[in-house]
Amino acid sequence: MKPFQTLRNLLVHPKDKRRHQAACERVYKIPCKNCDNTYIGETGRAFGVRLQEHRQEVTQRDVRAYTRSTSKSTATEQNKSAVTDHAISLNHVIDWDSAKVINRESNRMNRWIREMIHIRKEQDKSMNRDEGSYQLSHIYDYLLSAAATPGGQSFRRRQQRLPKRQQQQLQKVVF
C-alpha cells in the first residue's frame, strides 16, 4: 500500500501558483464597507487590472474639493463605473481587499450570462446600474430566486423548461 502524502508531494511543485489578481476571464464581486451592497462585474482581462481601474476612478473623484454647488452638480453626474457612483453619492468606502472572483468563464457570452445571473441574485443589494451585458427576460426571475434556495425536484422540473444554454449556465452557477 502506498501512502497518500509523500515527501515528494509535499516538496516538489513544478509550476508556480497563479496569483489571484492575474486571473483573466472572470466574473467578480466588489463589496462596500459601509453597507451590504456589492458590485458584480465581468472582465476578459486580468482581474487585478480591472480592479485597479475601478480603484483609480474612485480615488480620482474622491480627491476633488467640493463646495455646495459642485457637490450638487456631481451628484447628478454619472461616472464611468457604478462603484464610483455609489462611493461618491453615498460617501461610502469600497472594500477593495474583499473583492473576489466568483466565477471563471472563457466564453464571453457565457460570462455575460453568469454576470447577469449574479446581479439578479443580489437584487436589492447590488450597486450595478443595469443587469449586465446579456438581457434575459424577467420571466426567469422566479427560477433564479428558486436557484438561490436549495430546491429539490420542483426546481429541476422548472429548469428543464429553459433553453439548453441557459440550463447549462444555471447548472454551473447554482450547483
Per-position DSSP letters for the chain, written without gaps between them: ---SS-HHHHH---SPPPPGGG-EEEEEEEEBSSSS-EEEEEEEEEHHHHHHHHHHHHHHHHHS---HHHHHHHHH---SSHHHHHHHHHT--B-GGG-EEEEE-SSHHHHHHHHHHHHHHHGGGB--SSS-SS---GGGHHHHHHHHS---HHHHHHHTTS-HHHHHHHHHHH-
Handedness of CA 108, 114, 117, 119 (dihedral sign): negative
Q: Is residue 76 part of a domain?
A: yes
Mean pLDDT within 80-107: 89
Q: Is residue 120 part of a domain?
A: no
- When the pLDDT of each residue in the chain is averaged and rounded to a whole number, the result is 78
- What torsion, rounded to 10 degrees, do the Cα atoms 157, 163, 164, 165 define? -120
Asked which of 1-10, 11-20, 75-84, 92-101 is least confident by mean pLDDT, the reply is 11-20
Q: Domain total for the chain?
A: 1
Q: Is residue 159 part of a domain?
A: no
Q: Is residue 98 part of a domain?
A: yes
pLDDT tens by residue, 72-90:
666 667 777 889 888 888 8
What pLDDT, on a 0 to 100 scale, did the predictor assign at position 13?
73
Q: Is residue 29 part of a domain?
A: yes
pLDDT of 8 over the 60 cut? yes
What pLDDT, on a 0 to 100 scale, did the predictor assign at position 172?
63
Q: What percentage of residues in the chain have a pLDDT greater than 90?
A: 26
**Averaging pLDDT over each range in 62-66, 79-83, 166-170, which range is the top one?**
79-83
What pLDDT, on a 0 to 100 scale, did the predictor assign at position 6?
82
Q: Is residue 136 part of a domain?
A: no
Q: Is residue 174 part of a domain?
A: no
Mean pLDDT within 105-110: 91
pLDDT of 149 over the 60 cut? no
Q: Which domain covers residue 90, as residue numbers?
A: 22-106
Mean pLDDT within 148-171: 57
Q: Is residue 161 part of a domain?
A: no
